[in-house]
Amino acid sequence: MKFKKMFCVVTVILMMIVQSAQVSAQAELETTAESAILVDAVTGKILFAKEPDKELPPASVTKVMTLLAAFDAIEKGRAKLTDIVQTSENASQMGGSQIYLEPGEEMSLKTMLIAVAVGSANDCCVAIAEHIAGSHEAFVKIMNEKAAQLGCKHTHFVNAYGLPAEGHYTSAGDLALMMREAIKHPLFLELTSIKRYDLRGGEFILNNTNKLLWWYRGTLGGKTGWTSEAKYCLASITARDNLKLIAVVMATPEPRSHFRESMKLYNYGFAKYEAVPIAASGQVMGKVRVGKGTVDWVEAASTGEVGTVVQKGQKETVTHKVVIDCPAVTAPVDKGQVLGKVVVYEEGKRVYKVDLAATKDIPKGTVFRQMFKLMKNVYSYSG
């Protein structure tokens, strides 16, 4: 009973501390967005939040997941950028933002993805969905499955383009999760950072709807959205001085206010926080002995960026440790096989980890190699 009472007291104290921190952040920064979040793109650390779990219509910011689901299909070999996508009657009848596809009109998958990323083309969303999954409905199911896989608790998609529909919603917090996943695909930043694209031989011009690309230094990409129901929304990413931040604002009230409120979040983040980079993605951070293989060692490299974000002046509180799971493995070893991890600490508390993986395949060695190695070891020992 005494332990239970103590546990309750500790829980209440922790809740008060968290609430106090949230109130402090709110006092330092105010936003007209109904829901907003600012996170470190590398670690996911939340630097500011206002109603981050509030379920709201996302309008065309839906297309962050549309693009992500398409990129997944491409990376898994279910589609290629060079595929020719034929427009169905269904796709050609979409309203809202569009490039006015005609039934039977053909474009490469990459061109249609650009039209989605730059011009927010609803008709291309449906054409892409049908090409990859066979139907728009099947593609939306993939989107929802991906959202669940990422840990999104406040998201449900009804369509791939974001026009108002009952039961179509997400949250700023969930969109930040989607953005963190999307930027792992180089194609996402490549396409969403295009400022202008000439379509159909220059007959149709696409200008990027994300004006932060012009107005805010360091902006790398993102996706806008607007409907009368959703108001103005924006999910974006910006980088300065090794610090990569993702900002999401939802339901800002008037034209261009989603840009203003996003810049407000970014200004807050860059003024108050700094990055502590430790290692780049793919950097070798250790090696592991290989038994019965064609070589005796395999390098272990980070599977992502290693580092964290702290308030300015707190860099000295950050440390890290390389942990190898086992000093030796037996061949065969697969490229990408997890061999250990890098753990990042702040003031001695674990805050982030990145897996270390084998940099190449190590096949099993021949019997003759094993015999030669054994004889060499015996000779070295006897000598």
Q: Distance between CA 35 and CA 379 in Å, rounded?
A: 71
User: Which tokens go with 210?
Assistant: 């994300």
Q: Distance between CA 257 and CA 32 in Å, rounded?
A: 8
Q: Are 318 and 344 in contact (CB under 8 A)?
A: yes
Catalytic residue among 97, 120, 171, 257: 120
Catalytic residue among 63, 231, 244, 341: 63
Catalytic residue among 60, 88, 97, 171: 60
Asked about 120 being catalytic, the answer comes back as: yes
Q: Do the strands 204-207 and 35-40 form a parallel or antiparallel pair, or are they unpaired?
A: unpaired
Q: Per-residue b/e over 185-211, b at no fewer than 16 CB within 10 Å?
A: bebbbebbbbeebebeeeeeebebbbb
Distance of CA 168 to the CA centre of its chain: 21
Greatest Cα-to-Cα distance within the chain, rounded to the nearest angstrom:
84
Asked about 60 being catalytic, the answer comes back as: yes
Can you give the chain as a three-state secondary structure string?
A: CHHHHHHHHHHHHHHHHHHHHHHHHHHHCCCCCCEEEEEECCCCCEEEEECCCCCECCHHHHHHHHHHHHHHHHHCCCCCCCCEEECCHHHHCCCCCCCCCCCCCEEEHHHHHHHHHHHCCHHHHHHHHHHHHCCHHHHHHHHHHHHHHCCCCCCECCCCCCCCCCCCEECHHHHHHHHHHHCCCHHHHHHHCCCEEEEHHHCEEEECCCCHHHHCCCEEEEEEEEECCCEEEEEEEEEECCEEEEEEEEEECCCCHHHHHHHHHHHHHHHHEEEEEEECCCCEEEEEEEECECCCEEEEEECCCEEEEEECCCHHHEEEEEEECCCEEECCECCCCEEEEEEEEECCEEEEEEEEEECCCECECCHHHHHHHHHHHHHHHHC
Annotated catalytic residues are 60, 63, 120
